[in-house]
Amino acid sequence: MELLCYNQSMEIRNFVQKKPYLFWYIRDLDNLSEEAIVEVVLNFGNWQDTQELIEILGIKKTASIFRKKIAGKRNNYRPEIKNYFELYFKKYAQ
């Protein structure tokens, strides 16, 4: 299990490094949380970026991170993105 988490962590860091157009305004890419990465990719990434993220984290984990964030009083998801991914994860991450 620990090896899986380490590999997943390395994969997500490599993913971030390969996507400078998504994270151009962030100086310290190595310390981004998974929550921040999911938020940026869902808000500003294209479909391929989103699918690559889901492949790395898994659809259930990605959906869980998304749902946890939108459950709070405030979130940074654009309304149309929030609506789309609520429907998407409801259908595909059950």
Residues in the chain: 94
pTM of the model: 0.88
pLDDT recorded at residue 86 = 97
Range of the domain at 44: 2-92
pLDDT recorded at residue 5 = 65
Output the six-digit token pair for 51.
Answer: 């699918």
What gap in Å lies between CA 33 and CA 29, rounded to an integer? 9
The rounded mean pLDDT for the chain is 91
Instruction: Please write the tens of the pLDDT for every residue from 4-31.
Output: 466 778 899 999 999 988 988 888 888 8
Task: Please give the tally of structural domains in the chain.
Answer: 1
Q: Does residue 51 have a pLDDT over 70?
A: yes
pLDDT recorded at residue 38 = 97
What gap in Å lies between CA 45 and CA 40, rounded to an integer? 7
Instruction: Confirm if 77 and 84 have CB atoms less than 8 A apart.
Output: no
Name the burial class of residue 85, with classes exposed (0-12), middle (13-18) and buried (19+) by CB atoms within 10 angstroms of its CB.
Answer: buried
